[in-house]
Structure 1
Amino acid sequence: MNFDELIRFLEKRLQMPMPGTVAHDKMKPKMANGAPLRMKHATPPRKGGVLILLFEENGVAHFPLIQRPNYEGIHSGQMALPGGRYEHTDQDQFQTALRETEEEIGVSRDNVEIIGSLSEFFVAASNYMVLPVIGKIDHRPDFIPEPREVDDIVTPPVHHLIEPQRLKKKEMIVRNGYKLESPYFDLEGRTVWGATAMMLSELVEILKEFPQH
């Protein structure tokens, strides 16, 4: 998947209507008994932003994923896109995604050009309304993980997302012992599931329209 051709395609495609929920649902976990997973929250969702950061390596488009450390929290140890919660100093969720990426993996926001965004996504597990921002950088960054927030960084090629053999399913045991049956992406030997997989699923549907893959 040629980097320059992909960027030109996305610059136009991201201005058009998004696949949205139809794409998200393809990677949505369910209870092991087949029932849909439902969560209720007493407060309105908080805002957040994550970044799909595209960069070129040997002519091919890649993007970084981070592994969260193990901690007493709902996303402990999971693979994720760099990002986090909106702060009052952020102009908008685009700036949230850029700031959090700089803090988590050391990529200066000044070096990232925003291409657009996917559909805003509600992360039910943590009660966040997240904007997945897509940006590009003209070189492979020197990633500097923030050790309290990032255990590891992997950089799969974008085209791996649309390879059928990387789409798998397995049982996941989550907090409180709940068993979920979850689709996931197998990327760089890591299990990418849940909210991150659902957001990436919308990108997958868009990439299927890319004429060069």
Structure 2
Amino acid sequence: MNFQNVLHYVPSLIAAELPAEVAHYKMAPLERMEVMKNIDSKVSNPRVAAVMMLLYPKNEIAHLVLIVRNAYNGVHSSQIAFPGGKYEKDDGNYAYTALRETHEEIGVLPGKIEVIKAFTPTYIPPSNFIVHPFWEFVKKKFIFGQIQER
């Protein structure tokens, strides 16, 4: 989609009501549904993270940033993911976490990103995280590690 068209729809997308957990359950694998039925968040004491769904223009077309996680001995090793990470006590809020982690992972300065909307947090049973996703964009030509003026 043309990036300018995306920008045109931003106000209506901000106002749109999210389907929240109903949508999460429709997309979840069947085995996840069983885990979610039996989960007790008080017992599991989930960790908290935030991720960024970052749109940027490239050749006037809207693109979405995805990363490949490092290979390690863990459940999310080498997965395709949104940039983001664990909430730190000094972050203040989850949007800041997403911005800070995105800067650490792909080099985009937080001041260059416009936060559009918070989406519904979702629980990830394999790693025991509640993840807070945010929709954000950069309006200028994007080069990983920096933002250039047009």
The answer to whether the superposition gives a TM-score over 0.5 is: yes
1:47 and 1:129 in contact (8 A); partners too: yes
1:3 aligns with 2:39: no
1:13-52 to structure 2, matched below 5 A, reads 13-31=13-31, 36-38=33-35, 40=39, 42-52=43-53
Higher helix share: 2
Change (3 A) 1:36 1:91: closer
1:141 aligns with 2:142: yes
Residue in 2 that maps onto 1:126? 127
Give, in whole Å, the separation in 2 of the partners of 1:53 and 1:121.
Answer: 18
Unaligned runs of 5+ in 2: 146-150
Change (3 A) 1:88 1:138: same
Residue in 1 that maps onto 2:61? 60
Q: Number of aligned pairs?
A: 141
How far residue 134 of structure 1 moved from its aligned partner, in angstroms, is 0.8
> Normalising by structure 2, what TM-score?
0.83
Give, in whole Å, the separation in 1 of the partners of 2:50 and 2:72.
Answer: 21
Moved more, 19-28 or 44-53: 19-28
**Aligned residues with identical type, % of pairs:** 37
How far residue 14 of structure 1 moved from its aligned partner, in angstroms, is 2.6
How far residue 37 of structure 1 moved from its aligned partner, in angstroms, is 4.4
Unaligned runs of 5+ in 1: 145-213
| Cα-to-partner distance string for 1:103-132 (whole Å, 9 max, x where unaligned) | 011111111011112111111221211111
Give, in whole Å, the separation in 2 of the partners of 1:23 and 1:46.
Answer: 22
| RMSD after superposition | 2.0
2:118 and 2:132 in contact (8 A); partners too: yes
**Stretches of 4+ moved more than 3 A in 1?**
39-43
> Normalising by structure 1, what TM-score?
0.60
How far residue 22 of structure 1 moved from its aligned partner, in angstroms, is 2.5
2:3 and 2:57 in contact (8 A); partners too: yes
